């Protein structure tokens, strides 16, 4: 059995979908569905059981050497821990520490105690403004300065895991700018692709932030964009590769400008580009990342050799096969 926490969420449901494509439904999904539409990501997917995250943690804490769902912990092949608050605009640091750091710590210790493969989500937000680079070298963790509480909550787990001597027994994955189907419930944290699709559909134009630095033209701020299907494949690579431990970047290894992404969106929609540049809100200007690019050499050395889908092709697939058709993964 594979446990996927955050399994109803964006990347989590993509991982469950990919497991289904591999012929597997021996999956326990853990999440908090709340009152939103996240449950709709689960509707097309196949899995054995579902449990809310707080109930799941209580079972973990009470289980001891027994697994309370069916039989023993020996039946669990791996825990893919993707559940977290991923909002970069959440400023309740105590909540983030409890939900992102402490939950991950307890779950990792349970997994290690029972020799269960443990894979968890870190984030490119841990790299801060990028002055310390984007290399996934554990020895440089102390050089990183996240720009928001979310990034810090993820960074804190990596720091703890290293200090506790468990980082070389787990895989902590730093996801860069993931986009694609099943992000519909994420509100303001959705990717530019879906926001642009809605803007262009309604008004025929797209708004992008102006640059407030002389070394970047408007719309030329760059990100490492990775399609969620690639992110799911990279994540599952670690399930059966136990020697691949430590921190790994999950990205395309290529930085693309917002303008490039915007043009790809217009092209996929069959429309001529029409972009308006607007002032970036003052409260985020000092914490805005102008450039991110995943160094994925370590991932390649670990044995992952599949090419990532180019941005233009990924955007076209997302727009034409999901947004236009109002579909989710697995449908």
CATH (domain of 160): 3.40.50.720
Instruction: Please give the sequence-ordered ranges of beta strands (E in DSSP) within the chain, or none if there are none.
Output: 2-5, 27-31, 49-52, 78-81, 117-123, 171-175, 177-179, 206-209, 222-223, 225-227, 246-250, 256-257, 275-278
Residue 41 lies in a domain: yes
Q: How far apart are CA 64 and CA 239, in angstroms?
A: 24
Residue 129 lies in a domain: yes
Contact present, 33 and 39 (Cβ < 8 Å)? yes
Overall residue count recorded for the chain in this entry: 331
Residue 139 lies in a domain: yes
Residue 144 lies in a domain: yes
Residue 271 lies in a domain: no
288 is catalytic: no
**Nearest by Cα to 189 from 202, 175, 201:** 175
Can you give the pTM of this predicted structure?
Answer: 0.94
Domain residues for 96? 2-176+225-251+296-306
Residue 171 lies in a domain: yes
66 is catalytic: no
Contact present, 192 and 256 (Cβ < 8 Å)? no
Q: Catalytic: which of 103, 127, 150, 152?
A: 150
Residue 263 lies in a domain: no
The per-residue pLDDT string of the chain (331 residues; one tens digit each, 9 = 90 and over) reads 999 999 999 999 999 999 999 999 999 999 999 988 999 999 999 999 999 999 999 888 876 545 545 545 568 899 999 998 777 777 888 988 888 999 999 999 999 998 999 999 999 999 998 889 999 999 999 999 998 889 999 999 999 999 999 999 999 999 999 999 999 999 989 999 999 999 999 999 999 999 999 999 999 999 999 999 999 999 999 999 999 999 999 999 999 999 999 999 999 999 999 999 999 999 888 878 899 999 999 999 999 999 999 999 999 999 999 999 999 999 9
Neighbours of 148 (CB within 10 A): 18
Domain count, the chain: 1
Q: Catalytic: which of 186, 195, 210, 298?
A: 186
Residue 12 lies in a domain: yes
């Amino acid at each position: 059995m594979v446990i996927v926490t955050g399994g109803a969420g964006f990347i989590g449901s993509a991982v469950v979908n990919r497991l289904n494509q591999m012929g597997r439904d021996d999956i326990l999904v853990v999440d908090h569905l709340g009152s939103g539409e996240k449950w709709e990501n689960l509707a097309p997917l196949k899995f054995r059981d579902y449990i809310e995250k707080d109930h799941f943690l209580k079972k973990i804490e009470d289980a001891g050497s027994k697994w309370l769902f069916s039989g023993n912990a020996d039946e669990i092949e791996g825990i893919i821990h993707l559940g977290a608050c991923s909002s970069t605009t959440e400023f309740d640091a105590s909540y983030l520490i409890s939900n992102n750091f402490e939950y991950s710590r307890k779950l990792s210790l349970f997994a290690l105690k029972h020799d269960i493969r443990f894979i968890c989500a870190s984030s490119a937000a841990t790299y801060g403004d990028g002055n310390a680079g984007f290399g996934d070298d554990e020895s440089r963790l102390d050089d990183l300065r996240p720009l928001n509480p979310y990034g810090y909550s993820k960074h804190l787990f990596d720091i703890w895991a290293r200090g506790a001597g468990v980082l070389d027994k787990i895989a902590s994955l730093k996801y860069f700018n993931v986009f694609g189907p099943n992000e519909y419930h994420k509100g303001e944290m959705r990717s530019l692709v879906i926001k642009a699709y809605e803007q262009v559909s309604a008004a025929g134009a797209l708004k992008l932030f102006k640059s407030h630095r002389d070394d970047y033209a408007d719309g030329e701020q760059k990100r490492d964009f990775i399609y969620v299907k690639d992110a799911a494949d990279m994540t599952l690579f670690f399930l059966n590769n136990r020697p691949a431990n430590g921190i790994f970047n999950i990205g395309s290894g290529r930085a693309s400008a917002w303008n490039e992404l915007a043009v790809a969106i217009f092209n996929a929609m069959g429309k001529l580009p029409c972009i308006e540049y607007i002032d970036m809100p003052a409260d985020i200007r000092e914490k805005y990342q102008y450039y991110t690019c995943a160094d994925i050499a370590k991932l390649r050395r670990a044995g992952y050799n599949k090419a990532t889908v180019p941005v233009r092709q990924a955007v076209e697939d997302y727009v034409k096969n999901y947004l236009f058709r109002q579909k989710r993964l697995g449908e």
